[in-house]
Structure 1
Amino acid sequence: MDKTVSMMDAKPSLWTKLAYGFGSVAYGIKDGGFQYFLLIFYAQVIGLNAQLVGLAILIALVADAISDPIVGYWSDNFRSRWGRRHPFMYAAAIPVAVSYYFLWNPPESWSNAQLFWYVLLLSILIRTFITIYETPSTALAPEMTQDYDERSSVIGFRWFFGWLGGNTMAIAMFILIFPAFVTAAISNGQFNRDAYATYGFIASLIIFGAIMVSALGTHHLIPKLRQPPAKRKITSGLMFREIFETLSSRSFAALFFASLLGFIASGLAGSLNFYFATYFWGFSPEQIGLISLCVTISTFIGLFLAPYITRTIGKKRGAIVIGLIAFTGAPTPILLRLLDILPGNESQFVFWFVLVATTIDVGLIICYQILSASMIADLVEQAELKTGRRSEGIFFAATTFIRKCGIGIGIILASFVLGVVGLESGAGQGEVSQGAIVGLGTVYVPLILALWLTMISVISRYKLDRAGHEENLRQLRAGALSD
C-alpha cells in the first residue's frame, strides 16, 4: 500500500493544523482589505470614481480566470525535492507582501485615469501572487487527512485564521489606526489617506510572516505527501482537457455555482459593510471597531460548530440549515430600520442590536463556509477514481478562483449600487442625503437575499455524502492493494 494512504488515515497533530491554518491569515488580510477598505479608500478618500474601481476589479478577474487553473494544475504536477506544493508557497511570500503594500500607497496628485491603471495593475499582481501561494497551500488539506469528519476540523482552522486575520486588521484600523490619524482638518481618521498607508505597511509584514510560518510549519509533511505523477510531456491542450475532466461532475458544478453566488453576496456585503456602519447607522470608528472585535467571537463559533454539524447531520444538510438561518438573518437589522421598527440612531439599543446580530450571524456564515470547503475536499477522491490522478491543486484552484471571482463581482456590484443610490465619491460622514441612505438599504436587502437564497437552492444538488465518500476510499484502497 502507498505510504501516503496510511499517513492520510491518521489525524494531523494540533500543531500541524495550527501551522496549516495560520497561513490563511495572509489571504484573510488581503481579502478583508479588498472587501472592506479598497472601495471606500479609493472612492471616498482618494476620490477615484467608484465605478472605475469596480472596472479595475472586473478586469483583474479575467486574469484570475487564466492564472488560477494553471497554478492548480502546475502544482499537481510539479516535481522538486520540496514536493509539489511548498516551492510555490515560499516563492510567493515576498511578491504578495510588496504588491499589497503599494496598493495602499498610491502616488499623490495622479489623475483618475492614472489611478485606475495603478489599481488595475496592482490588483492583477496581488491576485496572481496570492494564487501562487493560496492554491498549493490550501491543497494540502485533502493530503493531510481523508477522514470525513477530520477534514471539517482541518479546514475549520484554515477558515478560522482567515477570518481572524482579516478581522483583526479591521479591529486595529478602527480602534487603533483611524483614531491615531484624527487631525484638526480631518475629524474622522477613516478619511485620512495616511491611515491606510500605515495599514498597508503593517498588513504586508503580517502577510509575509503568515506565509512563512505556514510553509515552514508544514514543511515536515513533504516526505509523506503524494508524489507527482510520472514525468510526461504536458501541452496546453492536455492541461485544459485534464482540468475539465477532473472538474466535470454534477456535485462539483453545484458547489461551484453555489459558492460563486455566496462569495458574490459576501463581496457585496463586505464592500458595503462600512458604508452601512458609517452612513446608514452613523456609528463612530470606535463603535465599528467594537463590532469588529466581537466578530472574533464569530470565528470561534464557526470553528467549533462546523465539525459538530458534520458529525451530527452531515455537511450538505448542515450547510443548507445553517445557511438558511444565517443568510436570511443577515440583512434583518437593515430591514427593520427601513420598516421603522428600530428606534433612531441616537438610541444605544440600535448599536447593541446590530453588534449581537452581526456576531451570531457571521459565526453561522463561517460555519457554512467551512462545510462548503470540506465538501470540495471530499470530491478529490471521487475525481481520482474517475481519472486516476490526484488533483487537489485543480480543485483548490477552482475554490480560490471562486472566492476571488465572487468577492470581485460583489465589489463591482457594490460600486454600482453606490452609483444607483447617488452616494457621491468623497462624501464624509454626515454629508450624504437621507434619500441616498434609505436607497442604499432598499436596494441592498432584496439583492443580498436573492443571491443567498438562490445559493441555498443550488447547493441542494450536491450528491456526495458520508457513505459515498467512504465508498470512494474503499475502492481506492482496493486499487492500491491490487497494484
Structure 2
Amino acid sequence: MSAVQEAGNLPPVRRLGQPTMLAYGAGAVAYGVKDFGFSTFLLFFFNQVMGLPASQVGLAILCALMLDAFIDPMIGTLSDRTRSRWGRRHPWMYASAIPIAVGWLLLWNPPALGQGAMLVWVFALSVIVRSAVSAYEVPSQALSPELSADYDERTRIMAYRYLFGWAGGMAMLVASYAYFLAPYPGQETGLLNRESYVGFSIAGAVAMAVAILVSALGTHHEIAHLPKPVIAQQSIAGHFRELGETVRNRAFLILMGAGICFYSAQGISFSLSNYLYTYVWGMKGGDFVALAGALFLGVVGAFVIAPRVARRVGKPVAAMAFMAGAAILIGSPYALRLLGAFPDPSSPAMLPLLFTIFGVNATCSVSSTILGASMMADVVEHSEVDTGRRSEGVFFAGGFFVQKCTTGIGIFASGFILSGIGFPEGAKPGTIPAATIDLLTIIFILLYLMLGMGAAYLYRRFPFGKAEHDARIGLATNG
C-alpha cells in the first residue's frame, strides 16, 4: 500500500462523467473574461482612453499584484482547512460570484477624478477584483486533483478547464471588438470611446457571475466523493511552519519558475497586443473578430492535441516542446517583418498568414499551460508522501498567483516599455514614427523569446512522470 493510500486521502482513480467535466470547465469562463479584460484592455483603457501615463498605470497594477502575494496563499490555506456541509471548496465558490461582478463594474466605470485619485481607483478596484477572483479560482482549481487521482484524466480535466477559459475570453474579445468597442461611423477604431466600456463591463460582470454559479451548482454533487482529510488545531507559528514545508517541494518550485517565465511573457504579449495589432499590423474592427476566431481554433487544437501528446511522450517533455514552439512562433512574423520578408499590411496575404501563425502559436502555448496545470495536480500526492498533508489549495494558490503575473508584471513591464520608447498617449494609427514601432517590436521579440525558452527549460526539469505517480498512489504501471 502506498503512503498516500495509508493517509486515507486518495481521491477516486476514475474517469469523470461528461456533465461534471462540462460544469467544472464552465467555471473557467469567469477567469477567461477577467484575464482577457485585464491583460488586453486595462492598460489601454486607462492610458489611451482616460489619459493616465502608461508607466503609472502599470505601477498601480503591480502594487495590487504585490498584495496578491499574501491574499492567494491565505485563500488557498483557508480553503484547505475549511470544513462545512458543502465541503472545502464550494462555500468559497458560491460566495465569490457577486463580489466579482460588482468589482468589475466599478473598475471600468470610474467617476470623474484627478490623476492621483484615478490611480488610487485603479489600484483599489484591481485589488478587489483580483481578491474576489482568487476566492473562486483557487478553490476551484484545487478541485482538479480531488476529482480524480488518475494521471491522464487530470490532463483531460485541465484541457476542459482551459478550453472553457479561453472560450470565455475569446467570446468576450469577439463581442468587444465586434459590438461593445466597435467603431462609430467614420472611425477606424472604437477602442478610444469611453462610453463603449459601459456595456463591455456589464456583459463581463454577468458572464463571470453566471459561469461561477453554473460551475458550483454543476459540481455540487461531487462533494460527497472528495477527500476529507482530518485537520488538527494548531498555532499560527505551526501553520506557517507547515506552509513552509509544503512550498519547499522541488516539483512545485520548478513549476512556479516555469510559470513565472511563461505567464510574464504572456502578460507582456497580451498587454501590448492592441498596440501591436493596431500600430504594427494596421488591424481594424473586423480584423479583430477574425483574429479571435483564429486564436480560438488554436485553443481547440490544444484541447485535442495536448492530452494525446502527453500520453505518448510524457507531460514534462510535451510541455517543453510546446513552450519552445510557442516562443519561436509568436516572434516569427515580427522578425520577418523587420527583415522585409513578411507581407506588407496592404497585401491580401498578410492577415491570413499572420492569423495562421497566431493560431498555431495558441495551440502550442495553451497546450503547455494545460500540461503545467496537470503536473501541478500531480504534485499534491508527491508532497503528501513527504508531509502527510493534502495541500491542493496552497499549491494552486501559488500557481494562480503566477498566472496573475500576466496582468501585473506584464502590464507594468509594458507600461515601462511604452514610456521608455516615447510612445504617445491617444495616438492615431499611421502617426507613430517607424523607428518607434520597430523598437517596440524588437523589445517584444527578445523578451518573449528569453522568457519562453526559460519556461521550456524548467518544464523539462520536472522530476517525475506517470510511472512514479502511479507507483505513488499504489497502481501497477503499464509503461
TM-score scaled to structure 1, two decimals?
0.94
- Residue matched to 2:224: 223
Deviation for aligned residue 1:397:
0.6
1:269-280 → structure 2 map (5 Å cutoff): 269-280=269-280
Separation of aligned partners in 2, 1:7 and 1:244: 24
The answer to which of 12-21 and 170-179 deviates more is 170-179
More divergent stretch after superposition (238-247 vs 55-64): 238-247
1:261-287 Cα shifts (integer Å, max 9, x gaps)? 100000000111111110111111210
Partner of 1:444: 444
Alpha-carbon offset, residue 111 of structure 1: 1.6
Match of 1:370 in 2: 370
Which letter maps to 2:190?
G
Report the equivalent of 1:171.
Answer: 174
* Match 1:158 to one of 156, 161, 165: 161
Q: Which runs of 5+ in 2 are unaligned?
A: none
Q: Is the 8 A contact 1:376 1:395 kept in 2?
A: yes
Q: Note if contact 2:334-2:441 (Cα within 8 Å) is conserved in structure 1.
A: yes
Q: Aligned ranges for residues 8-407 of structure 1 at < 5 Å?
A: 8-108=12-112, 110-179=113-182, 181-182=183-184, 187-233=188-234, 235-407=235-407
Amino acid at match of 2:21: K
Letter in 2 for 1:79: R
Mapped to 1, the partners of 2:238 and 2:279 lie a distance apart of 52
- Mapped partners of 1:188, 1:62: distance in 2: 34
The residue identity in structure 2 corresponding to 1:43 is N
Distance 2:12 2:383 in 1: 17
Could you tell me whether the CA contact under 8 Å between 1:44 and 1:428 is conserved in 2? Answer: no
Q: Which moved more, 1:277-286 or 1:418-427?
A: 418-427
- Inter-partner Cα distance in structure 2 for 1:31 and 1:244: 29
Q: Please say which of residues 94-103 and 242-251 is displaced more in the overlay.
A: 242-251
Tell me by how many angstroms 1:177 deviates.
2.0
CA RMSD of aligned residues (A): 1.8
Is the contact between residue 191 and residue 428 of structure 1 (CA under 8 Å) also seen in structure 2?
A: no
1:109-168 alpha-carbon deviations (Å, 9 max, x no partner)? x22111100000001111111111100011101011111111000011111111111111
Asked whether the equivalents of residues 4 and 225 of structure 1 are also in contact (C-alpha less than 8 Å), the reply is no
Deviations 1:50-103 (A, max 9, x none): 111111111111110001111101111111111100000011110011101111
CA contact (8 A) 2:265 2:410 kept: yes
Q: Which amino acid aligns with 1:112?
A: Q
Inter-partner Cα distance in structure 2 for 1:391 and 1:256: 15
* Residue identity in the other structure for 1:239: H
Task: Return the offset for 1:12.
Answer: 1.0
Q: Which runs of 5+ in 1 are unaligned?
A: 477-483
2:104–2:129 Cα contact (<8 Å) kept? yes
User: How far 1:187 sits from its partner (Å)?
Assistant: 4.7
Letter in 1 for 2:39: Q
The letter of the residue matching 1:60 is A
How far is the alpha carbon of 1:334 from its aligned partner?
A: 0.6
Alignment check: 8 A CA contact 2:302 2:367 kept: yes
CA contact (8 A) 1:77 1:229 kept: no
CA contact (8 A) 2:327 2:449 kept: yes
CA contact (8 A) 1:49 1:112 kept: no
Note if contact 2:188-2:284 (Cα within 8 Å) is conserved in structure 1: no
Following superposition, the deviation at residue 10 of structure 1 comes to 1.7
Following TM superposition, by how much is the alpha carbon of 1:344 offset from its aligned partner in structure 2, in angstroms?
2.0
CA displacement at 1:5 relative to structure 2:
6.5
Identity of aligned residues (%): 37
Alpha-carbon separation, structure 2, partners of 1:366 and 1:107: 37
For the 8 Å contact 2:320–2:455, the answer to whether it is kept is: no
Q: 1:66 to 1:129 in 2, by over 3 A?
A: same
Q: 1:232–1:468: structure 2 CA closer, same or farther, 3 Å change rule?
A: same
CA distance in structure 2 between the aligned counterparts of 1:335 and 1:65, rounded to whole angstroms: 36
User: Quick one: structure 1 residues 301 and 160, their matched pair in 2 at CA, closer, same or farther if it must change by over 3 Å?
Assistant: same
- Tell me the matched-pair count: 472
- Partner Cα separation in structure 2 for residue 207 and residue 129 of structure 1: 11
Runs (4+) of structure 1 exceeding 6 A deviation are 1-6
| Change beyond 3 A, Cα 1:6–1:413 | closer
* CA deviation profile, 1:9-65 (whole Å, cap 9, x unmatched): 121111101101110000111000111011111111111111111111111111100
CA offsets 1:266-309 (integer angstroms, 9 cap, x no match): 00001111111101111112102211122121121111111101
How far, CA to CA, are the matches of 1:240 and 1:337 in structure 2? 52
